[in-house]
Amino acid sequence: MNDFNLSFNQLQGQLPNPLNVRHNAVIDLSSNIFKGSIPLPSFPLFQLALSNNEFSGNQLSGSIPESVGRLSLVAVIDLSRNNLTGRIPSSIGNGFFLQVLDLQNNNLSGEIPSSLGDLYNLQSLHLSNNKISGEIPLSFMSLLSLETLDLGNNCLTGKLPPWLGDGFPYLRILSLRSNRFSGELPSSLSKLSSLQVLDLAENDFNGSIPTTFGELQSMTQVQKRNIHLFYGSLYYYEESYVVNLKNQSQKYTRTLSLMTSIDLSGNNFSGELPEEISKLVGLIVLNLSRNHFSGPIPPSVSQLSSLDLSDTGFSGPIPPGMSSLDFLGYLNLSNNKLSGRIPYSEHLTTFEASSFGGNSGLCGAPLTVKCQVDDSDKYKKIDIDSSNSSADTIILYLSIAVGFFAGISVPYTVIAIRRSWWDAYMDSVDKTADRLSYLGYKVARRCRNNLKHN
């Protein structure tokens, strides 16, 4: 047979080894309850999908058999979510046509074999959720077709090599979370022009965030074109990744190409967060929690759906523009050194007090802490009160002035006829003007006295 697909059933037991299949067959036995050793055919395959079972490798050690290297024409090897132990066999590096290697969620240990760097056509590599140790092999520099590199939740150590940002033009997903990586982030990461998901959470990285992060090209624009990420020659392997979104783990598959995320939480980063981060207008998820940053929060990205800046050490006021983040569904600014009045308007009114708690300097809604009136507000209040207290006097003064100028225009045409009448009238005007000037002086003096008393 060329197609052996019994996936997503409740089949159990052990399978014959080797499997009796024809050349270039597609085997998909995923999501069942099969046990025992991994069944391998005697002939080349296009796909071997045995994920989500209870396979335990070969009969002796429970590890992946070295004979897997005979599958030289295979495009997909998916042994994820089983009970495999031991080391990754170096013979897998013989699979020149291999596009997908998925060994995640097993109990594999040892170092990553450098022979994986010989998989020149590899596009998706998942080794997460194992017990793999050592460093990222230098041979990975040759994986120029790689789109997903998922090494999270292992025991990997060392610094992030600068070459990681130089030779992967198609890399979309880079996950190294929950390992033991250390050191500073190389600025060359900004050269990953296709990168949409950067997950470095739960490590020992330190130093400041490079300003070049604002140059991550695929995050500087909103992703509007949904590309179904699948691999394989005749049959496809559907790419997926779990993103920590809104403080919850959410798996993305068919819409993964629309996701943009940066998660640097749980490290030792310090210094100020560069304002260049606001250039990433297509960013949907930003998690910088549990670090040691300082300085103010820079302007936020307009498309953010989840923003977690808790326990980071940020200080100063909350940027007023944050209230206009219409897509924001999760916000956590708790346990920082933020101060001032919360710009509680527009979209920020949808968040509760817990989003702002643990900042002793913050005040105003939704917190119960009331803001003290600052000096400028106090002076404004004094001006208003002073104006109200002397309002009657000022109105009287204006009424007299209006009446005065209206009185001039009425008799003017008559009086101007005779000179003697004109002289007598102007003498009367001079005396009235003197009295009005004296009255204006008294009003101004009263206003000054009111300001002093207030």
Of 75, 68, 104, 8, residue with least CA distance to 231: 75
Long-range contacts of 321-324 (CB under 8 A, 24+ apart): 322/297, 322/348, 323/347, 323/348
Do residues 112 and 136 lie in contact, with contact meaning Cβ atoms separated by under 8 Å?
yes
> Does the structure show a pLDDT above 70 at 429?
no
Nearest Cα to Cα of residue 77 among 104, 58, 109: 104
Q: 335-358, pLDDT tens digit by residue?
A: 999 999 999 999 999 999 999 999
Pairing of strands 25-28, 45-49: parallel
Report the top-level CATH class of 3-363.
alpha beta
Contacts of 399-404 with C-beta under 8 Å, sequence gap 24+, read 400/436, 400/439, 401/436, 404/432, 404/436
Query: Residue 390: pLDDT above 80?
Result: no
Which whole number is the average pLDDT over 392-400? 48
- Write down the pTM of the prediction: 0.81
Can you name the residues that pair with 365 across neighbouring β-strands?
none
Place 446 in a pLDDT band, splitting at 50, 70 and 90.
Answer: low
Q: CA-CA distance, 82 to 80, in Å (whole number)?
A: 6
| pLDDT higher than threshold 70 for residue 409 | no
Range from 238-252, 325-339, 431-445 carrying the lowest mean pLDDT: 431-445
Of residues 339 and 426, the one with the higher pLDDT is 339
**What is the DSSP code string of 415-433?**
HTTSHHHHHHHHHHHHHHH
Q: What is the pLDDT of residues 147-200, one digit of tens each?
A: 999 999 999 999 999 999 888 999 999 999 999 999 999 999 999 999 999 999
pLDDT exceeds 50 at position 283 = yes
Percent residues over pLDDT 90 in the chain: 60
How much is the pLDDT for 193?
Answer: 94
Average pLDDT over the chain reads: 84
For the beta carbon of residue 257, count every other beta carbon within 10 angstroms.
Answer: 17
Residue 22 has pLDDT above 80, yes or no: no
pLDDT over 60 (residue 426)? no
Look at residue 259 and tell me whether its pLDDT is greater than 80: yes
pLDDT given for residue 16 in this prediction: 86
End-to-end CA distance of the chain: 97
pLDDT at residue 3, as a whole number: 74
Distance CA 29, CA 82 (A): 12
Q: Count CA atoms within 13 Å of residue 209 on its CB side.
A: 21
- Residue 339: which of 364, 321, 375, 312 has the closest Cα? 364
Cis preceding-peptide flag for 18 (omega within 30 of 0): yes
Poorest-confidence range of 68-77, 88-97, 101-110, 131-140?
A: 68-77
Average pLDDT value for residue range 272-297 = 94
Q: State mean pLDDT over 380-394.
A: 44
pLDDT band for 396, please (50, 70, 90 cuts). very low
Q: Which has the higher per-residue pLDDT, 57 or 93?
A: 93
When mean pLDDT is compared across 25-29, 96-100, 359-363, the lowest value belongs to: 25-29
52 half-sphere exposure, CB direction, 13 A CA radius? 11
Angle between helices 375-389 and 391-415 (to 10 degrees): 50
At residue 282, the pLDDT reads: 93
What residue ranges do the domains of the chain occupy?
3-363, 375-453
Both tokens assigned to 261: 């995320």
Residue of higher predicted confidence among 131 and 376: 131
27-31, 59-63, 269-273, 414-418: least confident range: 414-418
